[in-house]
Amino acid sequence: MRRIALTIITAVALTGCSGASLTVPEAGEFYLDGVCPVNFANDDLALEVNRAYILDEPMNMKAVNEKAATARDAYRSVIEKFSADTAAWPEVVDADVDVVVDNWYTDVSITNQMAEISDQASFETLWSVWTDPASQVNTSGTPQKIRAKLGLSPDLSTSCEGR
């Protein structure tokens, strides 16, 4: 019996899973540590896309593809971080985090397509669908709900400063 208890304690220690939920302040920091890299990657992608429009030049597809791949990888990373067994979210946001993570799988798919598109017209079509506030892709207010429940600023830029 003692050997089983020690094995369980060792397994818990090695996985980092304590079974205890994060506190709301801890969850807020954990949330920002995950989403800020996604926000930065999306900002970089948007800047690269908008550069072509501002300068009235053809898009640098290589640069846009690289920025899209970075965004895709950031989404994958945050999905893994937020889905890990060690991410014991407080009950107040647990279901909301699941919704956001599920939505991010769509973002992974779209940014993966963007990373592989070689012609500007196809890219612009996909970009328009992804960034259109009226599209189904961007209708969820769940990230702001999580921010409110965790006491975080609704301002994506301000809350990620210095991260």
Using one digit for the tens of pLDDT, what is the confidence trace for 19-78? 578 999 999 999 999 999 999 999 999 999 999 999 999 999 999 999 999 999 999 999
The predicted pLDDT at position 15 comes to: 37
Q: What residues have CB less than 8 Å from 163, skipping those under 6 apart?
A: 32, 33, 36
12 within domain boundaries: no
33 within domain boundaries: yes
The predicted pLDDT at position 20 comes to: 79
Half-sphere exposure of 106 (CA within 13 A, CB side): 14
16 within domain boundaries: no
CA dihedral 74, 76, 79, 82 (to 10 degrees): -60
Question: Domain limits at 105?
Answer: 22-160
**Cα angle 77, 78, 84; round to 5:** 90
26 within domain boundaries: yes
The predicted pLDDT at position 8 comes to: 33
Euclidean distance between CA atoms 98 and 47, whole angstroms: 29
Euclidean distance between CA atoms 109 and 149, whole angstroms: 28
110 within domain boundaries: yes
Report how many domains make up the chain: 1
6 within domain boundaries: no
1 within domain boundaries: no
Give the residue among 129, 161, 152 at the shortest CA–CA distance from 28: 152
